[in-house]
Amino acid sequence: MAKGHKHLAKHDIITPGTNWCGPSNRAMRYTDLGGFWEPDKCCRQHDMCAMSIMPLEHKYSYSNLRPFTLSHCSCDKRFRACLKMVNTMAAEFVGKSFFNVIQRQCFVLRPEKVCVRRNWAGKCLEFEGRNRAVLVDNERF
């Protein structure tokens, strides 16, 4: 299975003609692309998003209880732009499925102050800045 943050399960659906467009991938190698290779490249790039939160993972002060990976909004914006640039029926199908039907959300990071040390009475003695993932609705395709 190609390196990525998702693995194919029997119930997963991959867009016909692609190896990377779905909740997982079926590529044996990074270079494996389906017949609809242009939107497949967009999906592969999106699957490799460095800033993501896997299902049941706690990251960026957020617990992802969804059955799918959440991506940073910059990755979803790049994904949308890639599909729009490809401008084929297959790319439109993938874009509408992902952004309109599934209505996925993405996340942005917002700084927050967190108490990291308290005195005996519970008063905060030291704060630390951390980034917290905040969910945002994706634009429709």
pLDDT digits over 90-134, tens only? Answer: 999 999 999 998 878 999 999 999 888 999 999 999 999 999 999
* Domain carrying residue 105: 37-137
pTM above threshold 0.75: yes
Residue 76 appears among annotated catalytic residues: yes
Contacts of 111 (CB under 8 A, 6+ apart): 129, 130, 131, 132
CATH of residue 89: 1.20.90.10
Question: Model confidence over 29-69: pLDDT tens digits?
Answer: 999 999 999 999 999 999 999 999 999 999 999 999 988 89
Examine residue 21 and state whether it is found in any structural domain, yes or no: no
Domain count, the chain: 1
**CB 94, CB 39: distance < 8 Å:** yes
Q: Is residue 80 part of a domain?
A: yes
Q: Residues 40, 47, 72, 76: which is the catalytic one?
A: 76
Query: Any residues with CB less than 8 A from the CB of 119 and at least 6 apart, and which?
Result: 125
Concerning whether 58 is annotated as a catalytic residue, the answer is no
Query: Whole-angstrom Cα distance, residue 63 to residue 81?
Result: 28
Question: Which listed residue (46, 58, 72, 137) is catalytic?
Answer: 46
